[in-house]
Amino acid sequence: MKDVEKIRNAVVSDGIELTGPHPAPSSDVKTSEKFRTICKTDTCGNYNKSWTCPPAVGVPKDCVAKLKEFKDAMIITKTFPIDLNDKAMLEGIIVEHQSICRGVKKLFLREGFDVLALTDGRCTYCKKCSYPEPCVAPAEQMPSVSGFGIDMSNYITGCGIEFSFSKTSATLYGIVMYK
């Protein structure tokens, strides 16, 4: 039986918040292509190097079509203390947050939902992505929000959630869309 409250009760602990249901995020090809242009600058170093980032995540029209399959979403948030000068710490919190999001995704799957879970940045499940060779853990993939053309700041604030970062803390966000 599909039970979102059961999932919420299993997740909320240790500073993790699961809010919603919210309307699933949407995008259009124009917005998706705008984010692709940003991704192509490869500021993060993951463009064309990960199955969960552009261009491997899919062409804009396919990503937009996939988003349209879902009407409901839950937003996963956790605030972490940060030191902007400590790159290992920053990478560690991204890995931890993606692990949390992956766990929430699995709870939805166990309850019988079809899901699409997205987080910021490249998937961190493997230390080094196998791309362009076949993914060694496709069930563990966490595709990029930006790769799907979602303006996360606008989406989060549109759901009534404060989008915030500071010099000493960062709130990371994930989305699990379900049907």
Separation CA 105–CA 169 (nearest Å): 25
Average pLDDT over residues 115-135: 93
Q: Which domain holds residue 172?
A: 4-178
The pLDDT tens digits for 45-91 are: 889 999 999 999 998 889 989 999 999 999 999 999 999 899 899 88
Pairwise pLDDT comparison (69 vs 29), residue with the higher score: 69
Confidence grade of residue 165 (pLDDT, cut at 50, 70, 90): confident
The pLDDT tens digits for 37-56 are: 888 888 888 899 999 999 99
Paired sense of beta strands 72-81 and 169-178, if any:
antiparallel
Positive or negative, the CA dihedral 73, 107, 94, 43 is: negative
Q: Which two tokens stand for residue 115?
A: 């899901």
> How far is residue 72 from each of residues 15, 23, 44, 163, 177, measured CA to CA in Å?
23, 5, 29, 20, 6
Confidence grade of residue 138 (pLDDT, cut at 50, 70, 90): very high
Q: What is the mean pLDDT of the chain?
A: 90
Domain count, the chain: 1
Distance spanning both ends of the chain, measured CA to CA: 13
Confidence grade of residue 3 (pLDDT, cut at 50, 70, 90): confident
Average pLDDT over residues 98-116: 95
Whether the predicted pLDDT of 1 surpasses 70: no
